[in-house]
């Protein structure tokens, strides 16, 4: 487990069943800068975290995850989309304009607090949302083959017509 907050790691360790504790490695650091594992992981889960990265850091993160995986290793991912109910009204039109212009990072929101102030207490101002098409372009460039990709809503999250998040499973090739 890799986390910026040491307390999160302690909570995970204290809640891990004893028979699995020898398989748990805890690492504190800032992703992607402090993440440096080479060819050791069978799978990686990045859930609702990489959408807080600048575009270049997102690509760096993809490359570092690729390097961390063993051959045929799997990468599981979820992120916010521009269709999420909390940001759609304040950002979807801008996203579509940027995408039609061919902007490299059409989903980058510099200050999400202006669009969605209720999250200000616990998230960064930068939010970088993705749709399927951006991920289908980026992942092969970083050595991944997408096995499954789709839009969805989490059961307890704001309903976004089934399109508030994007998730994929990709394999290191």
Q: What is the pLDDT of residue 118?
A: 86
Residue 86 falls in which region: left (phi positive, over 0), alpha (psi -120 to 50) or beta: alpha
Query: Which pLDDT belongs to residue 159?
Result: 87
pLDDT mean for each 10 residues of the chain (173 residues): 95 97 93 95 95 96 97 97 96 98 97 90 93 97 98 91 97 96
Beta bridge partners, 47, equal 78
């Amino acid at each position: 487990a890799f986390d910026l907050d040491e307390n999160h790691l302690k909570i995970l360790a204290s809640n891990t069943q004893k028979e699995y504790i020898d398989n748990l490695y805890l690492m504190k650091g800032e992703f992607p800068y402090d993440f440096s594992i080479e060819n050791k992981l069978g799978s990686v889960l990045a859930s609702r975290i990489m959408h807080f990265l600048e575009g270049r850091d997102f690509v760096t993160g993809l490359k570092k995850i690729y390097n961390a995986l063993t051959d045929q290793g799997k990468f599981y991912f979820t992120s916010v989309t521009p269709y999420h109910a909390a940001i759609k009204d304040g950002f979807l039109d801008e996203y579509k304009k940027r995408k039609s212009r061919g902007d490299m990072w059409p989903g980058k929101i510099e200050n999400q607090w202006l669009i969605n102030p209720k999250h200000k207490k616990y998230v960064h101002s930068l939010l970088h949302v993705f749709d399927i098409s951006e991920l289908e372009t980026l992942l092969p460039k970083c050595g991944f083959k997408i096995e499954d990709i789709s839009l969805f809503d989490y059961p307890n999250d704001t309903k976004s017509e089934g399109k508030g998040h994007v998730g994929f499973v990709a394999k290191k090739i």
